[in-house]
Structure formats: structure tokens, C-alpha cells
Structure 1
Amino acid sequence: MGEDVTQSAEENFKNNYFLYIIDQAISSFGTRFQQLQSLEENFGILWNFEKLKSIDPEKLRTFCDNLANITNYGENSDLNGDDLYEDLCMLCRNFPEERSFSKLKLIKSYLRSTVSQERLSGLAMLSIEKDMVEKLDYVNLIDIFTSKNARRVIFK
């Protein structure tokens, strides 16, 4: 005579729900990583400027044509491979060595997320032009600033 094995509520939850959810999560992670790998293969050059600058022109042309084909939907095309190629070539030629966009990341950290746009722009400019800023005479600038503020207080 077969005995029915009774499970505790905890074992029942583990076997019927928890392990199922874990299996689904593992499967989803696999799918996500495959999608990210596909995105890296199709768009990876655009995410890494050093890669973009170092790619030879023929590979860049192939990349642009492939990207244009990927973005086609029937007869409609969101992207022109020739235009993209010309734009990326121009970007590589004209992009400055000093990368001001990465400077903004350094300046506006999580703790400074409430910085006004005007102040953020000023800090970015100071960071980008740090060679010029290092040559400034701070004592003289502070004296000029305080004298102007003192005049404002007097004349209000």
C-alpha cells in the first residue's frame, strides 16, 4: 500500500513556486545576455568611441550597411547606410581629443544632482579648460569678486 508523502507548507512552496521562479529567472537571464550580445554585435562600435576611431574604413562601411539593413522595415528604412558612414567619418575626424562629455559625468555625481544647469555648465567649462584655469590668480579674482559684491550691497 503506497503511503502519501505529505509536505510541509514550506517544502510545498519551495517545490511548487520558488524553484519554478528561479528556473524562469535563469532562463530570462540567458535570453537577456543573448540580446545584449546581439546588440553589441550590431551597435557595439557606436558605444565605444575608441573602437570607432580605430576601425578601418571598409569595416566601418560594412557596419553602416548592416545597421541600415537591420533597421529596415519592409520598404521603409529608418537609416541610410551611406549617410551614417559619412557622419561617422566626419565625427571621427572632428571629435576633439578632450572629451567634455565624460567630464560632465565626473562633475555631476549622485550627490550633486540638484546643481542648477547654469552652475553645471560653469563647472564643466572649468573642468574642460583646466589648463587655462590653473594659470589664474585666485587671490586677485576673489578680491575682484568681493569688491563687486560689496558694491551691490551698498547700492541696494
Structure 2
Amino acid sequence: MTNKCIKGKNFFGFIQRIYTIFANSTKRWEILKDNVKAWSLKSLCQTRWESRVESVKAIKLQLVDVREALLQVGEKDNDAAIASEATSLAEKELSDFEFLVSTVVWYEVLNHVNIVSKKLRSKDMHLDNAITEIKKLIGYFKNYRETGFLKAIVEAKEIAIEMGIDPIFPQKRLLKGKKAISSLETRFEQFKEYDKVFGFLFPQNLRGIVDKDLKLYCHRLEKPLKFEERSDNDVEELYTKLKLFETLETNEFSNPKDVLKFLKELDYFPNASIAYRILLTIPVTVASAERSFSKLKFVKSYLRSTMTQKRLNGLAMISIENEILESIDYEELINQFAIKNARRASRIVG
């Protein structure tokens, strides 16, 4: 049960660490005996519930005394590591209100489970009675969740006041990283800006657009394509070519990629071709980095950890563009490579 819960594992880890500090030295054990009079600390056992009950009981009923013993170990022990660990346990874990609540809760739960466990191991226990006891145990857990936990907090507050500890739970540190929703909103804002600048070039938007609006969109496109008074596109020429382009049969085009293919074949609209190439390139820049990182774990394995950057780039490109790679004719590629050098051609081709 405790291994399934991180807080439970940490709690019993602290209990075992406290016991180990004293048990590994006779001098430290004497310090413990001088402060703890009633119940001696017990080590945890993975197979016996009783050991967990006794180990928690010794801490829960003697928290003040155990903390004082740890503080003395921190002051007197010659081992710097042990002294530091003892002081840390006393001033942090045993002085933490959440740890006090956990101590009260685990003691109550383990003690009740231990009582039921002893009944079930009795030789006189019949099957019907065993089922009844198990049902009672389940009912106890349900009731403890509703009312028992609140009582545990009240008891822990009383212990905290006795120990001079603030009876409040520590505030968890909030992560300052971007939330997924915020990241998505930023991404959508980027696409809205993209649509505002390049949206008019999509075939369904270009059809039927009035001249005044078309000219306005062309001027709006000039700004992001401009650098130090130089632009990748001539606004007036782009406007003229797009007007002329409207007169052609463009109903068969469903996306900008089809338009760019047509413009390349026509070889008459250089400014429009540049605009469409930029339009189709921007979405790639949004996703290419994420795609590269997702492929990197496949490419740079443990056996390839010492490869050069050039080789890594090449393997990453092959992995990312594997569909294109599968369609390449290797024989033709080898021949083209060999033809560029006469000596190479004689070795490979001839």
C-alpha cells in the first residue's frame, strides 16, 4: 500500500533514516536512550505490519524527545555527514506540519489494520466472521476519509503547538513554465497574423476579390518581406500579375501548392511565384524544429553518441524525409555522383 504512494514511501523513508542514524552507533544510541524513555525506535520490516505500527508509534508518541535527540547528534557527532543529516531531519522533516499529520494518520490506520490482521490470523476465526471483519475494515477506511482525517489534523495541530511549530501546510512552489493552453493561444495568434498577411493568396480567397482590396493586401504583404528598404517583392508588379492571374482558369486550384506548380510551369509570374513560395515555407518553420527533436531520439542512439554534427544532420534529414528517400533511384544517384569525376567513374561505373 505504501509503495503505491510517493508521500507514503517518503514518510517511511524518513522513519527508517531516523532509526538508522541511532542504530549505527553506540554513542548515538546512548543519546537516544537519554532522551527517549518509553518506547525504543524500531526498524521497518517489509513483511510484518507490526513493525510498521511500532516504528511509527515510537515516533508519534515521542516526537519532542526524538527531535531533541537528533539535535544533540547534530551538535556532538564527529561524522559531519551524519551530523548534517540528523540536524536536517530534526529541523525540516520533524518540524514540518505535513509530516506531523502523516504521523498521526499512518499510526491510526496501521494500528487499526494490525488489530484486524491479528483477528484474521486467529485459529478460531471462521470464514463468515473473516468476511465481516474485512467489510468492517473497508467501512472504517471510508469513514476515516470523511471524518477521521479532520480529527487527525486537529490532533496534529495540538502536537505542533506543543513543539512550537506553525500548524500550517507548506506552500507548494508553483512552476513558472508556460502552460499548454497559453502556448496554444500564442500559436493560434501567430496563425491569425499569418492569415492576415498571406490569406488573400489562397485560391478560394483570391477569386472575386475587388481591385481596391487586392492592392491593399499586396501593400500589407510588402512590410514583412522588407529588410533595410529592400523588399523581396515588387508590390505594383505583384498586384498587376495577380490581376492578370485572375483571368486565367484557376477554378481547378484547391490550395496554394497547386498554384505554385502552375506558376512554375507558366514561368511568367516571378513576383507571384516568390509570394507563394514564402507562403508555403512559413508553416514548415513552425513545425520543423519540433519534428526534428522528435526524430533525434531515433537517430542519436547510445551507439551513435559520438558522431559528428555533419553526420547527425544527414541522418536526421534521411529520417525526417524518409518518404522522399524511398522514392529515390539509387542506381541513377550513384551514376550521377560518379560521372562528376573521371577517376571515380572508372572505379564505380566501369
TM-score using structure 1 length? 0.49
TM-score using structure 2 length? 0.24
Indicate the structure (1 or 2) with the bigger Cα radius of gyration: 2
Q: Taking CA–CA contacts closer than 8 Å with sequence separation of 6 or more, which of the two structures ends up with the larger relative contact order? A: 1
